[in-house]
């Protein structure tokens, strides 16, 4: 049986397995069409803080189902396992665990946004309000 390691040690281990991306690099990759930004924040945070223009919104509990290119519930943009996906949560913690889960599905280029949406906004990158 494996010994429990705690969330901080788990995050450290997970983050050592891939390279995270900074906000400006994610912006440029998305603008160039070389990365798919995926916002996994829950609705209340999106409504409060806004959206990253062009980001695909998939709440965390649906992420693997929607991004598995071989899955029956995949999003139309989930076309292949080498898709560069940048997972974005609020502050960059849940997104690290989500990226690691995508790696286990074979999405080996999945990463997450260091600092999450809050770092994106602090960097002065585009944000738009949620239209209701």
Orientation of helix 7-16 relative to helix 94-104, angle to 10°: 50
Domain membership of residue 89 (yes or no) is yes
Predicted pLDDT of residue 132: 72
Q: What is the CATH number of the domain that holds 115?
A: 3.40.250.10
Domain membership of residue 42 (yes or no) is yes
Task: Decide if pLDDT at 101 tops 80.
Answer: yes
Predicted pLDDT of residue 1: 72
Give pLDDT tens digits for 21-78: 999 999 999 999 999 999 999 999 999 999 999 999 999 999 999 999 999 999 999 9
Nearest partner of 84 among 112, 60, 64, judged by Cα: 112
Determine the Cα–Cα distance for residues 46 and 73; give it in Å rounded to an integer: 23
Lowest average pLDDT, out of 36-40, 78-82, 101-105, goes to 78-82
Instruction: Say how many domains are in the chain.
Output: 1
Q: What distances in angstroms separate CA 33 from CA 37, 85, 118, one per listed residue?
A: 10, 11, 23
| 87 vs 79, higher pLDDT | 87
Residues written for the chain: 132
Domain membership of residue 35 (yes or no) is yes
Identify the band that residue 94 occupies on the pLDDT scale cut at 50, 70 and 90.
Answer: very high
Give the three-state DSSP class for 118: helix
Domain membership of residue 44 (yes or no) is yes
Domain membership of residue 90 (yes or no) is yes
What is the span of the domain harbouring residue 57?
Answer: 20-122
Bridge partners of residue 39, in order along the sequence: 57, 88
Domain membership of residue 71 (yes or no) is yes
Domain membership of residue 11 (yes or no) is no
């Amino acid at each position: 049986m494996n010994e429990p390691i705690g969330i901080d040690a788990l995050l450290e281990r997970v983050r050592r397995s891939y390279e995270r991306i900074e906000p400006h690099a994610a912006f440029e990759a998305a603008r160039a069409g070389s990365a798919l930004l995926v916002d996994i924040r829950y609705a209340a945070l999106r409504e409060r803080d806004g959206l990253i223009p062009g980001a695909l919104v998939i709440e965390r509990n649906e992420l693997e189902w929607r991004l598995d290119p071989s899955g029956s519930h995949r999003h139309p943009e989930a076309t292949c396992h080498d898709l560069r996906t940048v997972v974005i949560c609020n502050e960059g913690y849940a997104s690290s665990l989500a990226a690691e889960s995508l790696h286990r599905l074979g999405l080996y280029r999945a990463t997450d946004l260091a600092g999450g949406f809050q770092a994106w906004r602090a960097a002065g990158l585009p944000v738009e309000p949620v239209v209701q």
